[in-house]
C-alpha cells in the first residue's frame, strides 16, 4: 500500500479577542514536554502565531487520522497552558494592526528582507499531503497528471473566507495570498525529471528564490522525502475532513501511477486555463461551478462525483472507499469550512467564527 504523511498548520488565537498571538515557541516547547509528541512532530513556521505538525509515515487512513487527532490534542493542550488556543483555519478571522513577529531563523529573516509585506500577511495555514512515489522521475509524471484536479481539491478544502474581520468573497483567500510569491500557483508541465531539476536550478541561480522551500507550487516533489507533496489544500476545521482529503490525494496519485505504468496519455490542459480554474475554485469553493479537467464549467457536485469515479478503483484497492465516500457526501451536505465559517459569521459575527474554529480544531 502506498504510504502517506500529512502536515498541518494551525493558528494560535487569543480565545477572548480572537486575535493571533505570537506564542509559537512557547507552545512548541510545552508540546514537546508531553509523552504524546515525538521529536520533529511539532515544528516552527514563518510567523510566531503559527505552529506546524507532521505525522509519521502512515500506511492507512486510520493511522493518519489517529496521528492528526493526537497531534491536534497535544498542541491544543500546550496552547491552553499559555492562555491561547489552536485554530485550524487557513486565515485568521481578524488580525492585529501590526505584524506578527517572524520566527528567529536565518531563512525566515531572509524572507522578511526579501518581501516584508508578503511576510507580514503570510498568516495562512495549509495542509500538505505527501504520497510516496517509486522514483523522482515517476514523481514528475505524477505531477503532470494530477495538475488538472488541483482546483477541485482546492475547492473542497476551502476554509479561509475571512480576512481583517471581513468576508473576502473568496472561499480560499489563502490561495490568493500564496499566489503572490515569485514561484507559486500551478506547477508547470515538465518533460522529465532532468527538466524539473534544470528549471528549479535556473530559479535558484536567478536569485528569485533562495532555496527549494520557496517553490510554492501547489504540488511539487518533496526535497526531504521520496514523495509527491500536494500543497493546494487549506487546513481543515476537523481531523476527519483532513482524512478525507488525504484519502482522495493518495487515490489520485495511485490512479495516475497506474496510468504512467500503462503508458496512457496525460490530459493536455493549457496553463492559462489551469490558472483560471484555480482562481475560480478559490473564489467559489463548492458554492457554484467548477472547471472540470477538460475545461468545461460544471456543477461543483458533478465534478466531485467525477473525481470520485475516477479514483474509486484505487480507493477500493486501499480499502478506503467506504470512509472517503461517506465523508465526501457529508461535505456536500454540510459545506466546506468556508461555508461553515460564513454561516457562523452571519449568525453571530466574529465571536461566533472564533468559537467555531477553536471548538472544531480538536474534534474528530
pLDDT given for residue 40 in this prediction: 84
What is the Rg, in whole angstroms, of the alpha carbon atoms belonging to the chain? Answer: 19
As for how many domains the chain has, the answer is 1
Q: Alpha-carbon distance 244 to 147, whole Å?
A: 19
Over its length of 364 residues, how does the chain's per-residue pLDDT go in tens digits? Answer: 899 999 999 999 999 999 999 999 999 999 876 667 777 899 989 999 999 999 999 999 999 999 999 999 999 999 999 999 999 999 999 998 778 999 999 999 999 999 999 999 999 999 999 999 999 999 999 999 999 999 999 999 999 999 999 999 999 999 999 999 999 999 999 999 999 999 999 999 999 999 999 999 999 999 999 999 999 999 999 999 999 999 999 999 999 999 999 999 988 899 999 999 999 999 999 999 999 999 999 999 999 999 999 999 999 999 999 999 999 999 999 999 999 999 999 999 999 999 999 999 988 7
Torsion of CA 275, 279, 285, 290, to 10 degrees: -50
Interatomic CA distance for residues 274 and 190, integer angstroms: 15
| Number of C-beta neighbours around residue 110 at 10 A | 13
Residue 358 burial class via C-beta count within 10 angstroms: exposed 0-12, middle 13-18, buried 19 and up? buried
120's CB contacts (< 8 A; 6+ apart) are 99, 100
pLDDT of residue 35: 60
Question: Which of 2, 8, 7 is closest to 60 using CA atoms?
Answer: 2
CATH number (domain holding residue 114): 3.30.590.20
User: What domain range includes position 343?
Assistant: 4-360
The rounded distance, in Å, linking the Cα atoms of 84 and 23 is 8
Assign 3-state DSSP to the chain and report helix, strand, coil percentages, each to 5. Answer: 50, 15, 35
Residues 342 and 167 sit within 8 Å (Cβ to Cβ): yes
What cell does 33 get? 514536554
What is the pLDDT, as a whole number, of residue 50?
97
Amino acid at each position: 500500500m502506498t504510504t502517506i504523511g500529512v502536515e498541518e498548520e494551525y493558528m494560535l488565537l487569543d480565545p477572548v479577542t480572537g486575535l493571533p498571538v505570537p506564542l509559537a515557541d512557547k507552545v512548541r516547547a510545552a508540546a514537546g514536554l508531553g509523552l504524546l509528541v515525538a521529536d520533529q512532530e511539532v515544528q516552527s513556521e514563518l510567523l510566531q502565531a503559527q505552529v506546524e505538525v507532521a505525522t509519521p509515515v502512515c500506511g492507512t487512513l486510520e493511522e493518519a487520522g489517529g496521528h492528526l487527532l493526537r497531534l491536534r490534542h497535544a498542541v491544543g493542550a500546550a496552547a491552553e497552558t499559555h492562555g491561547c488556543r489552536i485554530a485550524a483555519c487557513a486565515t485568521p478571522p481578524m488580525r492585529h494592526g501590526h505584524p506578527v513577529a517572524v520566527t528567529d531563523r536565518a531563512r525566515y529573516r531572509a524572507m522578511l528582507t526579501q518581501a516584508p509585506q508578503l511576510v507580514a500577511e503570510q498568516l495562512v495555514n495549509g495542509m500538505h499531503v505527501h504520497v510516496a512515489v517509486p522514483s523522482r522521475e515517476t514523481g514528475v509524471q505524477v505531477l503532470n497528471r494530477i495538475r488538472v484536479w488541483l482546483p477541485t481539491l482546492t475547492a473542497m478544502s476551502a476554509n479561509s473566507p475571512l480576512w481583517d474581520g471581513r468576508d473576502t468573497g473568496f472561499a480560499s483567500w489563502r490561495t490568493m495570498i500564496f499566489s503572490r510569491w515569485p514561484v507559486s500557483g500551478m506547477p508547470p508541465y515538465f518533460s522529465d525529471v532532468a527538466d524539473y531539476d534544470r528549471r528549479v536550478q535556473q530559479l535558484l541561480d536567478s536569485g528569485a528564490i533562495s532555496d527549494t522551500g520557496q517553490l510554492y507550487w501547489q504540488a511539487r516533489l518533496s526535497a526531504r522525502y521520496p514523495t509527491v507533496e500536494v500543497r493546494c489544500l487549506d487546513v481543515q476545521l476537523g481531523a476527519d475532513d483532513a482524512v478525507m482529503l488525504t484519502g482522495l490525494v493518495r487515490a489520485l496519485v495511485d490512479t495516475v501511477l497506474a496510468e504512467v505504468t500503462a503508458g496512457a496519455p496525460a490530459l493536455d490542459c493549457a496553463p492559462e486555463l489551469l490558472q483560471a480554474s484555480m482562481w475560480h475554485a478559490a473564489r467559489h469553493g463548492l458554492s457554484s461551478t467548477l472547471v472540470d479537467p477538460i475545461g468545461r464549467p460544471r456543477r461543483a457536485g458533478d465534478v466531485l462525483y467525477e473525481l470520485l469515479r475516477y479514483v474509486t478503483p484505487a480507493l477500493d484497492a486501499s480499502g478506503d472507499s467506504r470512509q472517503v465516500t461517506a465523508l465526501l457526501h457529508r461535505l456536500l451536505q454540510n459545506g466546506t469550512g468556508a461555508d461553515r465559517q460564513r454561516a457562523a459569521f452571519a449568525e453571530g459575527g466574529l465571536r461566533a467564527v472564533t468559537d467555531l474554529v477553536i471548538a472544531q480544531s480538536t474534534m474528530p
